Amino acid sequence: MNPLKILIVEDEHKLAQVLQQGLKEQGFVVEWADDGALGLDMALEGSFDAVILDVMLPGMNGFEVLSELRKSGSTLPVIMLTARNNVDDRVRGLDHGADDYLAKPFDFKELLARLRAILRRPKTELRTTLRVAGLTMNLKSREVRRDGKFIDLTPKEFGILEYLLSRKGLVLTKAMIMDHVWPSDADCQGSSNLVEVYVNHLRKKVDQDHAVKLIQTVRGSGYIIQDQT
Ligand code: CA
């Protein structure tokens, strides 16, 4: 069996060195990136089995790295290192698709245990296409089609549709869509009209020319996308 390959994305050289050394002693092959953008490139290109990803990184932070990684369709297991025992950071990490998190400072033995646990999990099927009825969204090429016909979406419309499709059959409230698509835009918080406007645009593009309407309004609650049966 080939040794398992771990990527460490951490800008604190001392900690990165300790981790590298410790993991090598455990028989892992280890590579290290000391900034977010480099880490993302390596995670996308290298054949790693897991990533240990720090949140506080220069340039591109750990959440951004993780969210780009997941957008590209990667299901690579990721453990996030949060700076302190910060619940928001943990929730944010898990929301962005982290598999586990560890608050600094941590015990190396604990990291090892978490790492082994996520490596034991069965590899999730690599999901690159989301679909409902005749609507398909390719997460790699970012192409959206309905019955084979290309639909041109803005990045925000794409984000909303991706969120709806990834939770097909579930009602998403305007607040959930707001948090998901405009996460750091404090000015827009609370403006549910904005969500309405965007969903209406999206609806025109996706449903207008079709008898079957895929995006449904759940009055007083939010929106849902589902197969019409
Ligand atoms: Ca750091």
Distance 169 CA to ligand 1 centre (A): 38
Distance 167 CA to ligand 1 centre (A): 32
Distance 49 CA to ligand 1 centre (A): 22
Two structure tokens written together for 195: 């969500």
Picking from 57, 103, 63, the residue whose alpha carbon sits closest to that of residue 83 is 103
Distance 66 CA to ligand 1 centre (A): 15
Distance 165 CA to ligand 1 centre (A): 34
List, for residues 139-162, the tens digit of each pLDDT value: 878 889 998 899 999 999 999 999
Contact between residue 81 and residue 104 where contact means Cβ atoms under 8 Å apart: yes
Question: Does this model's pTM top 0.75?
Answer: no
Q: Rounded to the nearest 10 degrees, how much is the dihedral formed by the CA atoms of 10, 12, 18, 19?
A: -10
Which of the pair, 82 or 202, is modelled with greater confidence? 202
Distance 11 CA to ligand 1 centre (A): 5
Two structure tokens written together for 118: 């996520």
Which of the pair, 118 or 54, is modelled with greater confidence? 54
Distance 182 CA to ligand 1 centre (A): 25
Distance 109 CA to ligand 1 centre (A): 20
Residue with tokens 């050289």: 13
Contact between residue 24 and residue 30 where contact means Cβ atoms under 8 Å apart: yes
Picking from 175, 170, 174, 161, the residue whose alpha carbon sits closest to that of residue 204 is 161
Which of the pair, 193 or 214, is modelled with greater confidence? 214
Domains by residue range for the chain, with CATH: 5-120 (3.40.50.2300), 129-225 (1.10.10.10)
> Directed axis angle between helix 87-95 and helix 62-71, to 10°?
20
